[in-house]
Amino acid sequence: MIDTLLSPLRLPERALEALGQIVEDLGGLREEMGGLREEMAGDLRPMRTDMAVMRESTSRLPEGIEKIEQAVTGLSATLDAIDQGVAKVHADISGLNAQVETLGKRVEAMERTVDAMRGSVENVIKDLPGASGAGVVSRVRDAIGGDTN
């Protein structure tokens, strides 16, 4: 019976034992966490270095992007100017083609005129006195009626 009466007094004793066990377990857990923390810190050091390098590298990106945008704008203006120049050259070529066509027609007309003149000259040459000294006109005159002098 005394055990039964003393039983409520033993409850705090058991609670203290349980708390002691919890403290021991937490101490071991704390040691494990400390080791894990050190391990993670060791793993993070190279990452921090890499991040610092990345920050340094990317800090210049806005300047680079701005320069690229300026270059693209300049190239766009240059391409527009080239496009206008090409359009002008194309128009000039079209005009030259029209002039060449006109010149070709004129040359053809000149060739026809020269051919016609050549025929006229040949006819005139036939009427000129030849090696015999008498041309067609004088032969016709002789045949018709003789000498008019």
pTM: 0.39
Q: Confidence class of residue 111 from pLDDT cuts 50, 70 and 90? A: very high
Q: pLDDT (tens digit, 9 = 90+) per residue, 121-137?
A: 777 776 666 555 566 66
One-letter identity of residue 100: V
The Cα-based distances of 11 to 5, 19, 25, 134 in angstroms read 12, 12, 21, 168
- Count how many residues are written for the chain: 149
Q: What is the pLDDT of residue 96?
A: 93
- Residue pair 104/95 in contact (Cβ under 8 Å)? The answer is no
The answer to whether the CB of 142 falls within 8 A of the CB of 134 is: yes
Say which range, 28-37, 66-75, 83-92, 97-106, has the weakest mean pLDDT.
28-37
Buried b (16+ CB within 10 A) or exposed e, 60-84: eeeeeeeeeeeeeeeeeeeeeeeee
